[in-house]
Structure formats: C-alpha cells, structure tokens
C-alpha cells in the first residue's frame, strides 16, 4: 500500500443547509417550505424560523470560516427564496442574497459547493401533490436552470438533492408524504422516481450550460454488515444495501434500477409508474462525482417476517427494517453516541472503498460529524474533545482509503457552524463554531470558537498531516 497523503488541492470544508442555519424564514419575499409548515417536531424543540440567523450574519460567519482555513463550504440554496411558490415569478431579493454569499466566499478564497435541494420543498408545490406530481419535475428543472443562469459563472461544484434516500426511507419525518394514504410506500417510491428524473434533468442541463462545471448526487450512504456469518444474514445485508444505498447511486450513475431493489418493489406492489422516455432521460444524467453523507454503519439480520421486522424508533442512522426483507440489529463491536448512533470510523473507510469500486468516480464527503450537548463554560470555552476524537478517527480512515486508491477530493464535516438539527433542535450541536442560543431563548446568537475549531484549523493547515 502506498504512503499517499491528501491531494494538494483537497477540499477541506464544512457543511450546512439553508433551512437549518439561515432563519429569516419569511423575509425578503421568501415563501414557506414543507419544513416551515411541518408540525411534527417533538415538544420543546425549536423550529427553523431563526436558525443561527445566518441570513443576517453571513459575512461574520464566512469571516470565521476563512479564519478556520476552509477551502470549501457546502451549503444549500432555499428553493423558496428563489421561487416563493416553487415556480412562477423569481424573487430578486433571494437571487441577490446568494449572489452576495457566493461572492463573499470567493473573496475569502473559499470554494462554494452548492446543494440545490436539501429537504425544503416549496409548500405551494406540496399542496399540488409535491413530488407525487410530475409537474414538480419541470418546476425543479426550471429552478435548476435559474441557479445555473445566475450562479453558474462562479459555482463550479453542484450537488443535486441531499439525502434523497432518507426522504424516501423517512418520508414522514421530513414531511413529504401523507401518513393517511392507503399505500404510503408506493407513493414514496413514485416520488423517488420523479426525484430521480428531476436530478437527471438538472445534471444534463448543467453539462449543457456549463461544460466545465461538475455536478453529482448527494445521498446518505452507509456500509451494511450482516449480524452474523449466517448466509441468511448476508442476504439481509445485501437487501438492505440495495434499497438504502445502491438503488439511488445505480440510478444516478447508470440510469437503471438496482435489480435487488426493483424485485423488492415489485414483490410488495411499490413499483412506480414509468413513462415512455423516463429511462432514456435517466441514462443521460452522467454525474461527474459522487457526494455522500456518512455518520455510521448499519447492521441487519435475517427478516423474521412476523411483524417484528419494522421498528418505529429508527432515524437516518438507526435501521428501521423492512418487513420480509431485513431486520435491524445492534453491533456489539461499536460504541454509541448519546443519541444512539453507532460510531464506526473503519466502516467509513469500508464505505469509501465500496462506493469507489462500484462507480469509479471521484468522491466527496459532504457530511460526517458528531452531534452532542456542548457546554459553554466560563470564559467562552467549549471543550468538545469528543468531537475532535470522532473527526480525527474518521479523517485517519480517509487518509488510509486514499492510500488504497480511493479517489477522494474533499471532506466537509457537518457542520461548519452550529445550526438547528432536523429532529433535535439547536441543543444537538455539530459545529466548530458555537451559536449562543437554546431552544426557547435566542440570547445574543454570539459566535464562539470551540476547541475543535483550533484543532481543525491545524488539520487543514497541514493538509491532514497533523491529526
């Protein structure tokens, strides 16, 4: 194995998303998204109306990112800032905000990596059927074209849809499916098919308008282990990988449904309606790279098929299970975070290797991080050694994966700065920069550098040698 370090032009970055950080949810012409209208938040959890107030403080935040030494910043554009109703009239103030944000990043030498859609579907489109309605594909294509027209001269790296697989596997949590439907899963897989088409059209458009730009998908990918060496557990792990990982990447990269995933859809009556030219459109997509989010591995066992396969406590990183297909299991070899997520840096490397071998495309990690209840101590000190430990172990595995031939072009941990977590509010913190607020008190929203800030700064300065 070669002693290869991180490439010279490696994208050391940090990530956020619009609805979690910006706030200003109804300012300057922005329309409501499904996130703004979601009423399913746990009691005592803050909403997304203020976030970290990044909309008003982006210059201050970008100055801190520059001090941290970030080479790239992965953020998302709020669709409803550009098109308040998802389509129709463009909101000039929204265009202006992201123009200013992108210019500020470039002035500070930070590469903008832009996610086009991060869970926040315009509510006006949701009311017309959302992703179940094929018109949403056209609306997304129009939105993508508008982004390329206004920002394509400066943005070289685009991500289409963040964690599409999580929106399908956890559709209820993100507010894109009606829980009262007769067959919600069939509906979700129809939505999934339409999202695939929207993604493919955006990729094609990007290549047409800006041949030198790069664009790729951004699912959440996790290696799946069998609970034992029992052959049936091995099959269960393959089943889980197919419906959780490969269905999304096979479609993005090859323009076809994964065969194991498709047989699962057909068997359960979940398969989507596919129109005549759909597969042709999907084959044309041709991503330039794969972005993916990784927090933990998954472990599964053989389905019991007795009604116990499906757990209601799952989230993005805890297996829910699929009746008759696989059942979630815990991994005794791994530690867990205080939120029940298993910590598996070696699994991260295994995931990198597997994606690299399957698709032979450059990879960029767009989320990886540790959510925790950080404590602000006297003198504005946040000793988040547990975050440093988590990130250090994962970065070391990145380095080993690169030495093994994985074409990794960037690492953007979640998150650059504290923001409001999708399910656990602002108390579950991920950032290198502390935002002084809690669930029910905005306080002064002051930015405070955590211990991990100084640590990550040294990692970047040394191009990953000082870890």
Q: Which residues does the annotation mark as catalytic?
A: 163, 367
Cβ pair 29, 85 in contact under 8 A: no
Asked if the bond preceding 90 is cis, omega within 30° of 0, the reply is: no
For the chain, the distance separating the N- and C-terminal CA atoms, rounded to the nearest angstrom, is 20
CA distances from 344 to 15, 89, 294, 333, 428 (A): 20, 46, 10, 9, 20
Going by the DSSP 8-state scheme, the letter that residue 3 receives in this structure is -
Going by their DSSP bridges, the two strands 111-117 and 447-449 should be labelled as unpaired
Q: To the nearest 5 percent, what fractions of the chain are helix, strand and coil?
A: 40, 15, 45
Cβ pair 272, 188 in contact under 8 A: no
As a residue count, the chain comes to: 467
Dihedral-angle region of residue 23 (phi above 0 means left; psi in -120 to 50 means alpha; beta otherwise): left
Q: Which residues contact 263 (CB under 8 A, 6 or more apart)?
A: none
Token pair of 324 as six digits: 């008759």
CA distances from 452 to 14, 58, 392, 415, 432 (A): 13, 21, 10, 12, 6
CA atoms within 13 A on the CB side of 291: 29
């Amino acid at each position: 194995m070669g002693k290869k370090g991180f490439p010279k032009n490696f994208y050391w970055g940090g990530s956020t998303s619009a609805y979690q950080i910006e706030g200003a949810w109804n300012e300057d012409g922005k329309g409501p998204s499904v996130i703004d209208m979601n009423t399913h938040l746990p009691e005592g959890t803050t909403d997304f109306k203020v976030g970290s107030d990044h909309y008003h403080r982006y210059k201050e935040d970008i100055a801190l990112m520059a001090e941290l030494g970030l080479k790239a910043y992965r953020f998302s554009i709020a669709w409803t800032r550009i098109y308040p109703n998802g389509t129709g009239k463009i909101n000039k103030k929204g265009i202006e905000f992201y123009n200013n944000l992108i210019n500020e990043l470039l002035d500070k030498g930070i590469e903008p990596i832009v996610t086009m859609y991060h869970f926040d579907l315009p509510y006006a489109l949701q009311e017309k059927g959302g992703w179940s309605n094929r018109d949403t594909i056209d609306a997304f294509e129009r939105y993508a074209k508008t982004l390329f027209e206004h920002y394509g001269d400066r943005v070289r790296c685009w991500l289409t849809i963040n964690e599409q697989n999580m929106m399908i596997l956890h559709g209820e949590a993100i507010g894109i499916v009606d829980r009262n439907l007769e067959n919600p899963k069939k509906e979700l897989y129809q939505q999934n098919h339409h999202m695939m088409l929207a993604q493919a059209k955006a990729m094609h458009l990007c290549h047409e308008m800006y041949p030198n730009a790069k664009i790729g998908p951004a699912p959440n990918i996790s290696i799946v282990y069998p609970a034992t060496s029992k052959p049936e557990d091995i099959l269960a792990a393959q089943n889980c990988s197919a419906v959780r990982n490969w269905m999304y990447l096979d479609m993005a990269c090859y323009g076809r449904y994964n065969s194991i995933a498709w047989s699962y859809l057909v068997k359960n009556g979940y398969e989507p309606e596919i129109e005549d030219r759909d597969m042709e459109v999907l084959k044309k997509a041709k991503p330039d790279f794969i972005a993916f989010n990784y927090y933990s591995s998954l472990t599964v066992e053989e389905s019991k098929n007795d009604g116990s396969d499906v757990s209601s406590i799952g989230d993005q990183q805890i297996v829910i299970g699929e009746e008759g297909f696989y059942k979630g299991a815990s991994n005794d070899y791994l530690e867990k975070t205080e939120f029940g997520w298993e910590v598996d840096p070696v699994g991260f490397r295994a995931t990198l290797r597997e994606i690299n071998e399957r698709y032979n495309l450059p990879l960029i990690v767009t989320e990886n991080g540790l959510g925790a209840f950080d404590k602000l101590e006297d003198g504005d000190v946040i000793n988040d050694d547990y975050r440093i430990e988590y990130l250090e172990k994962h970065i070391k595995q990145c380095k080993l994966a690169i030495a093994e031939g994985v074409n990794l072009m960037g690492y953007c941990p979640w998150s650059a700065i504290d923001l409001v977590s999708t399910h656990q509010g602002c108390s579950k913190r991920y950032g290198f920069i502390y935002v002084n607020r809690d669930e029910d008190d905005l306080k002064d929203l002051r930015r405070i550098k955590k211990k991990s800030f100084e640590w990550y700064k040294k990692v970047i300065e040394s191009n990953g040698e000082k870890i």
